[in-house]
Amino acid sequence: MAETKLEQHMDMLGRIVAQFVAGGLSPRTVQSSKISEFLGQNEDSAIAADVLRWMVDEGLIRADVIHNGVQGDVQVYGAQLTSRGIAVLKSKTEAGDTIERKIESQSSSGIRWSEIGDLIGGVLGGLTKSITS
């Protein structure tokens, strides 16, 4: 069964966030046109651009410089997790562990990257709702 566009975005979100978790608060440069190098496997740069834009807009990451290219490329220089991004990663799942732990155990647990992306989106939705309520 083919993945939906949203599942592709959630999969990419999970894998990009995993790279930020692995790097801690070290600033990162991420370019959607070079996402395959960043993630270590062949990837869709258009999906990466969508996800990077969303991550910045939702406050998961901040960057010293954000460049939106004319052909849809997104480049973030000096990107780091924000306090909001860290709060999302430290949020408890229904199983009692954190999203950060799910990311760290992804390969051994068999959880799909898109499920991790869904968890991140769900927590962000809850944070937004609690802030605006």
Residue 39 covered by a domain = yes
Domain count, the chain: 1
The pLDDT tens digits of the residues spanning 48-96 come to: 999 999 999 999 999 999 999 888 999 999 999 999 999 999 998 888 8
pLDDT value for 59? 95
**CATH number, domain containing residue 26:** 1.10.10
Domain of residue 80, residue span: 5-126
Q: Which of 77, 75, 102 is nearest to 88 (CA)?
A: 102
Residue 132 covered by a domain = no
7 Cβ contact partners less than 8 Å away, ≥ 6 residues apart: 114
Neighbours of 76 (CB within 10 A): 23
Whole-model pTM: value is 0.88
Residue 133 covered by a domain = no
Q: 115 vs 3, 29, 35, 83, CA distance in Å?
A: 12, 25, 20, 22
C-beta contacts of 68-72 below 8 A and 24+ residues apart: 69/33, 72/32, 72/46
Partners of 62 in beta bridges: 80
* DSSP tag of 71: T
